[in-house]
Amino acid sequence: MLITLDIDLSNKNAQAFIKFVETIDFIQVKEKEHLEEYVLTKNQKNVLEERKQRHISKKSKSFTWEEIQEELRASSDE
C-alpha cells in the first residue's frame, strides 16, 4: 500500500516526525517538489462524510497527539 502525506517541513514538530519515521525500516521517505492534484470519487466523498459523522456523534474513537506518540514509541520497541 502506498500512502502519501503532505508535510510542512517549516514546522519543528513535522521535522521531528520525519526524523522518527526515517528510523522505521519499512518506510521510505521521498521528497517531491510539486503538489499533485487529486480528485475524490463520489463514493470516496461519501465514505469520508460517513466517517466524519461517526466522529462528530462520538461513535468512533479519537486519539490525542500524545496517545499517538506513545503508541508509536511502544510499537517501535517491539
**Residue with cell string 521521498:** 30
Residue 6 located in a structural domain: no
Query: Strands, E, within the chain: which ranges?
Result: none
> How many folded domains does the chain comprise?
1
Count how many residues are written for the chain: 78
pLDDT band at 14 (very low <50, low <70, confident <90, very high): very high
CA distances from 48 to 51, 52, 53 (A): 5, 6, 9
Residue 58 cell numbers, joined: 462520538
The pLDDT score that the predictor gives to residue 33 is 73
For 54, the domain range is 12-76
First and final CA of the chain: distance in angstroms? Answer: 22
Q: Global pTM?
A: 0.40
pLDDT band at 32 (very low <50, low <70, confident <90, very high): confident
Residue 7 located in a structural domain: no
pLDDT at 24 > cutoff 80:
yes
**Residue with cell string 521517505:** 29
Residue 1 located in a structural domain: no
Q: For 43-60, what is the mean pLDDT?
A: 93
Q: For 33-61, what is the mean pLDDT?
A: 89
The pLDDT score that the predictor gives to residue 43 is 95
